[in-house]
Amino acid sequence: MKNSPQIEKKQLSTRLNHSDYQAPAGFAAYPTAVHHASTVLFENVAAMRSRNWLDKQSYTYGLHGTPTSFTLERRLAEIEDAQHCILAPSGLAAISLIDLALLKSGDHVLIPDNAYSPNKELAHWLQSQFDIAVSVYPPMCGAGIENYIRPETRLIWVEAPGSVSMEIPDLPVIAEVAHRHQIVVALDNTWSAGIVYPGFEHGADIIMQALTKFQSGGSDVLMGAVLVNDAELYKRLQLTHMRLGLGVGMDDVYLVLRGLPTLALRFAEHDCSAREIAAWLKEQPEIQTVLHPALPECPGHPIWQRDFTGAAGLFSVIFKEEYSEQQIDRFVDALALFGIGFSWGGSHSLCVPYRMQGMRDSWTEKGQLVRFYIGLENTKDLKADIRQALQQL
Ligand SMILES: *Cc1c(COP(=O)(O)O)cnc(C)c1O
């Protein structure tokens, strides 16, 4: 910042905008300072002219980050063992950043049938508007992914486990096939919060996470992250991020930073409670199947055992066929401790019934599917609540 020359006493409106005060250096505390900025000041014109926003050793403009967002990016990169991290204003913005950085017209992208629905919706929109072809593949195809690959395939999405239906795909096998064809593999690693599934070790080239979920943990912020090791991929992502102007608000960044120290503790508690409730639901006569990766009847359970070191508080159940959609809606409405709403990762339990036929290319289950998110409430109370709601059936 420039030093103002000491002339005579300045007028009020100038004094309101320029002050000579500088807080003493040497302040130390654990929380990261929240640096807000659109304009970032340069020392002099030479510094302004030689700026390089791609280099995160210096600051150029609020859109490209302040010490607050740089800190969150580094900390997330440390957690996932990645070289680079880029923040985006939501998990979905992180997904679209990856698609737009990697795909151009004439290219082909593969998306698993169990992907987060807006990810599929985006791909179909790219197909209709920008001539980027999309194919939906069965998530459990493993090495069979090869059958879906075309000469123009550039990107394969993987989600572990799949949104709502919870299948655990064989990422190492898919990545091995993809890499033989020089195809980039992007993993949606939101469910594991980046702490119980080392996606890069299992072959992902790019990892995205919705920080909206466990990292923030407060149901009060939307943010996404893209993590990558390859320098060339990182540059493509940075350029696309700049062109699209995907800035994040520093107060939101602060909220995510605030959640990180307790992330593992909260995750473990959600995991423990969800496993207890999932196992208990398995015993209930109204339930056909419990789709929790830690239970043997979940598709891909052995892969979960092999590749994961924990499970999130999110799982689904399929009710017995005899229960109609109306009855299941009544069950969900009758729950007192489970809120009805999208997103998850906060401290409160949630429950959502899904119409799977409309969401999936192929879905053969006849019973109604309900997704549970187990919060930090006591499991005895949560079970009692579910039991009284089941009685409404
Ligand atoms: C929530 C979620 C997203 C999107 O995150 P938003 O911040 O809500 O846009 C993406 N993928 C998965 C698996 C999610 O659960």
pLDDT digits (tens, 9 = 90+) for 93-114: 999 999 999 999 999 999 999 9
Atom of ligand 1 nearest to the CA of 224: 7
Question: What is the average per-residue pLDDT within 47-56?
Answer: 91
pLDDT of residue 19 exceeding 60: yes
pLDDT of residue 153 exceeding 80: yes
Ligand 1 pocket test, candidate residues 87, 163, 248, most atoms within 8 A of CB: 163
Question: What is the average per-residue pLDDT within 132-160?
Answer: 98
The secondary structure of the chain, three-state, reads CCCCCCCCCCCHHHHHHCCCCCCCCCCCCCCCCCCCCCECCCCCHHHHHCCCCCCCCCCCEHHHCCHHHHHHHHHHHHHHCCCEEEEECCHHHHHHHHHHHHCCCCCEEEEECCCCHHHHHHHHHHHHHHCCEEEEECCCCHHHHHHHCCCCEEEEEEECCCCCCCCCCCHHHHHHHHHHCCCEEEEECCCCCCCCCCCCCCCCCEEEEECCCCCCCCCCCCCEEEEECCHHHHHHHHHHHHHHCCCCCHHHHHHHHHHHHHHHHHHHHHHHHHHHHHHHHHCCCCEEEEECCCCCCCCCHHHHHHHCCCCCCEEEEEECCCCCHHHHHHHHHHCCCCECCCCCCCCCCEEEEECHHHHCCCCCCCCCEEEEECCCCCHHHHHHHHHHHHCCC
Residue nearest to atom 10 of ligand 1 (CA): 91
Q: 260 CA to middle of ligand 1, Å?
A: 18
Which of the residue ranges 16-20, 153-157, 337-341 would you say has the lowest mean pLDDT?
16-20
Residue nearest to atom 5 of ligand 1 (CA): 91
Residue nearest to atom 2 of ligand 1 (CA): 210
Tokens of 223: 């943010």
Atom of ligand 1 nearest to the CA of 93: 9
Question: What is the average per-residue pLDDT within 294-302?
Answer: 98
Residue nearest to atom 4 of ligand 1 (CA): 91
Which of the residue ranges 62-71, 141-150, 359-368 would you say has the lowest mean pLDDT?
359-368
Q: 119 CA to middle of ligand 1, Å?
A: 9
Contact residues of ligand 1, CB 6 A cut-off: 90-92, 116, 159, 163, 188, 190, 210, 212-213, 222, 224, 343
pLDDT band at 5 (very low <50, low <70, confident <90, very high): low
Question: What is the average per-residue pLDDT within 13-18?
Answer: 94
Determine the pLDDT at residue 252.
98
The bridge status of strand 206-210 relative to strand 224-228 is antiparallel
Tens digit of each residue's pLDDT (9 = 90 or more) over 301-353: 999 999 999 999 999 999 999 999 999 999 999 999 999 999 999 999 999 99
Given 3.10.290.10, 3.90.1720.10, 2.40.40.20, 3.40.640.10, which CATH number is that of 84-242? 3.40.640.10
Domain with CATH 3.90.1150.10 in the chain: 263-390
Domain spanning 263-390, CATH architecture:
Alpha-Beta Complex (3.90)
Q: 239 CA to middle of ligand 1, Å?
A: 23
Q: 210 CA to middle of ligand 1, Å?
A: 5
Tens digit of each residue's pLDDT (9 = 90 or more) over 61-72: 999 999 999 999
Tokens of 335: 């729950």
Domain with CATH 3.40.640.10 in the chain: 84-242
Per-chain mean pLDDT for the chain: 96
